[in-house]
Copies of this chain bind each other. A is one copy, B any other.
Amino acid sequence: MAVTSHDVARLAGVSQPTVSRALRDDPRVSEATKHRVREAVNQLGYVPIEAGRALSSGRTRRIGLLVTDLDNQFYSHIIAPTHRELERLGYQLLLHTESADSETIADRLIANGLDGVILATTTAESVAPLRLHDRGVPFVYFNRTAAAVDADSTVVSPVNGLTAAVTRAVDLGHRRIGAILGPSNTSTAQGREVALRTALAEHGLALEPDYVRRGPFDTESGALSTASLLALPHPPTVIFCGNDVVAYGALNAARGAGVPVPDGISIIGFDDLPPASWPILELTTIAYDLVGMASAAAGLITRRIEQPDAPISHIQFETSFVERGTLAAPAAR
């Protein structure tokens, strides 16, 4: 006859729910008890059937995280803290990537029996929030939001950081301001564009259409846009990039074109990813608590699962300007 968790509980001298918690590595169970449970498991050769547990509780304790592309360094930096916080809360992370057909994504998320989903790729056209909402699957917006459905969210306010960055650039003498904006159907790109234009307007400046490029938040887009800006007869003297990953591409394109940074062109990122502070990059950028934001998203989704009627929370993280080596006064021309 199959060994059950009740047999394990009896041998370990604990309750059956304690066995489940110990095997989930729940922090509420002491290390000594976990050790006793593991000993009993080993002695009896017990194999826990997680599926059985899911059927009895109606929960899988699995949270999906939807990202556009795992190769994109922005996502690799949010996966780790999200994973850690979910693990601490007794949940597991399932990664999902977007494919071309967003209708399929929503179905796949629903079909996976997830307890909840963290959406990090929302655009104005995303149907995932609508479908998840219709099916009653809890979800949280991470970084990007959509107006169509209100839900818990953790977002960044770009205003403080970009305002300070623009003030500093203008003080240094920059007047020809370039920008590589993110996709116009994302709330993040929209928010950063508005903050940038507003900050420039306060100094009587505007983004000249010739100096604006738009593209996905990735390194290739940053490189192509920068190459095209540097090829102008009078290129901008500073480029505000949609995020740090775009800025890596901008640095690559400047190096490729033989234009020194910051003496030939200044580059400013957004996100302050860990490599931004490396001595070989020294990227000037806009910082916020990215790890805290990932943890907050994990906290919001588990709260929503455990307290479905809790009021909707919008957690906003403030930004600050971090000046490093990629910003300097423009060369006199």
Contacts and interface: CB of A to CB of B under 8 A. Distances in A.
Interface of A: 23-25, 34, 38, 41, 45, 47-52, 54-55, 60, 69-71, 73, 76-77, 79-80, 83-84, 87, 92-95, 97, 103-104, 107-108, 110-113, 135, 219, 248, 251-253, 255-256, 274-275, 278-281
A108 B54 CA distance: 16
A69 B60 contact: no
A280 B254 CA distance: 9
Contacts of A52: 51, 55
Given A55-B55, A279-B256, A60 B50 contact: yes
Interface of A: prevailing SS: helix
Contact of A113 (B48, B84, B110): B48
Given A95-B83, A280-B280, A108 B25 contact: yes
Contacts of A104: 25, 34, 38
Copies of this subunit:
2
B92 A94 contact: yes
B95 A93 contact: yes
Contacts of A84: 97
Contacts of A49: 55, 113
A44 to B, nearest CB: 12
A317 B182 CA distance: 38
Contact of A71 (B50, B80, B97): B80
Contact of A92 (B38, B77, B112, B251): B112
B38 A107 contact: yes
Most buried by B among A60, A92, A107, A135: A107
A49 B110 CA distance: 9
B107 A23 contact: yes
A315 to B, nearest CB: 22
7 contacts: A23-B107, A49-B55, A70-B76, A83-B95, A84-B97, A92-B112, A280-B280
A50 B33 CA distance: 31
A198 to B, nearest CB: 31
Nearest to A73: B76
Contacts of A113: 48-51
A135 B47 contact: yes
Contacts of A112: 50, 92
A107 B41 contact: yes
A253 B279 CA distance: 8
A50 B196 CA distance: 46
B54 A51 contact: yes
A94 B97 contact: no
A252 to B, nearest CB: 5
Nearest to A135: B47
A258 to B, nearest CB: 10
Nearest to A20: B111
